[in-house]
Amino acid sequence: MTIARALTIAGSDSGGGAGIQADLKTFQELRVFGMSAITAITAQNTLGVLGIYPLPVDAVLQQIDAIGADLGTDAVKTGMLFSADIIAGVAERLRRYGWSRVVVDPVMIAKGGAKLLQDDAVRAMKEKLLPQALVLTPNMPEAEALAGVPVRTLEERKEAARRLAAYGVKHVVMKGGHEEGSDVVVDLLYDGSGFTEFASPRVYTRHTHGTGCTFAAAVAAGLAKGQGVAEAVATAKQFIGAAIEDSLELGQGHGPTNHWAYRERLAAAAMPKEGR
Ligand SMILES: Nc1ncnc2c1ncn2[C@@H]1O[C@H](COP(=O)(O)OP(=O)(O)O)[C@@H](O)[C@H]1O
Ligand SMILES: Cc1ncc(COP(=O)(O)OP(=O)(O)O)c(N)n1
């Protein structure tokens, strides 16, 4: 039996909704063997980020080398990378191991406003990491910061996607969670020549902590299983939609999403009607 494997290179969220924890839960739910290289420890809950403790670059790279030298991986997802030095090291390791199914979630700022990427690291991300991304998954503020243009209207989102592709990114998913005034959330996939829209009803909830991490991890899981990018994005959109809709209502602030909701829905749909 072939076992699909995925590696997440990201920060730890003690609250379990975002970061490494969200990624590993998502991999597991999608039947992908998950591995991790932790870049930073955050003390975090649904109310915000209380502390950030980056790991030394050598510690990050040694975790990656441990996997590269033994288990190998079918896909990589990057999340909170925190510094220019960590980005440079990660980019070098992606090249060294020839890992090409790479999803870059350009994590910059947590919902509560905490900076998860240092200001001087944005340039390193653009110049060193983006050229190696098979899929880049910016939210609207991240797309603005990376592309250097306003990203509000549909046409602005398309223009930003074209600019990001110019850095060497093969596919850009412009996520639409931050769009205001619409009952539909549209994620736009750009493949270097055209756009595909993935739309779903907007869920009106405050429990959206970790949506970006979970979505990108689900894309990486699909790629690890050999899916094409469009198929992996379509499944990821279903996965995050279920996770937001079937909310767990945990914590006093922005609660985590429900990582088992997608699997439970599939199981319910497969069950004979009288058994439900
Ligand atoms: N309120 C919502 N209802 C339904 N889907 C959402 C909602 N908010 C975000 N999503 C989905 O979750 C994913 C993450 O979106 P977004 O909020 O833009 O990114 P981030 O979490 O990185 O800020 C996307 O696939 C988006 O379509
Ligand atoms: C450790 C860590 N990594 C990433 C994030 C950001 O997660 P995201 O999915 O963008 O969700 P919000 O933080 O915006 O709710 C994080 N908070 N912590």
How large is the average pLDDT for residues 255-269?
Answer: 96
Of 54-58, 77-81, 92-96, 115-119, where does mean pLDDT reach its minimum? 115-119
- Looking up residue 252, the CATH number of its domain turns out to be 3.40.1190.20
How large is the average pLDDT for residues 182-196?
Answer: 96
pTM metric for this prediction: 0.97
Q: What is the mean pLDDT of the chain?
A: 96
What pLDDT, in 10s, does the model give residues 158-176? Answer: 999 999 999 999 999 999 9
Domain that holds residue 83: 5-275
User: What is the percentage of the chain residues whose pLDDT exceeds 70?
Assistant: 99
Q: Is 153 a catalytic residue?
A: no
Catalytic residue among 68, 79, 176, 212: 212
Does residue 181 surpass a pLDDT of 90? no
Does residue 31 surpass a pLDDT of 60? yes
* Residue whose CA is at the smallest distance from ligand 1 atom 6: 177
What pLDDT, in 10s, does the model give residues 145-160? Answer: 999 999 999 999 999 9
Ligand 2: atom nearest CA of 12 is 1
How large is the average pLDDT for residues 112-131?
Answer: 94
How much distance in Å is there from the Cα of 212 to the middle of ligand 2? 7
pLDDT of residue 180: 85
Q: What ipTM did this prediction achieve? A: 0.98
Does residue 271 surpass a pLDDT of 90? no
Number of domains making up the chain: 1
Residue 276 binned pLDDT confidence (cut-offs 50, 70, 90): low
Three-state DSSP string of the chain = CCCCEEEEEEEEECCCCCHHHHHHHHHHHCCCEEEEEEEEEEEEECCEEEEEEECCHHHHHHHHHHHHCCCCCCEEEECCCECHHHHHHHHHHHHHHCCCCEEECCCCECCCCCECECHHHHHHHHHHHHHHCCEECCCHHHHHHHHCCCCCCHHHHHHHHHHHHCCCCCEEEECCCCCCCCCEEEEEEECCCCEEEEEEECCCCCCCECHHHHHHHHHHHHHHCCCCHHHHHHHHHHHHHHHHHCCCCCCCCCCECCCCHHHHHHHHHHCCHHHC
Does residue 81 surpass a pLDDT of 60? yes
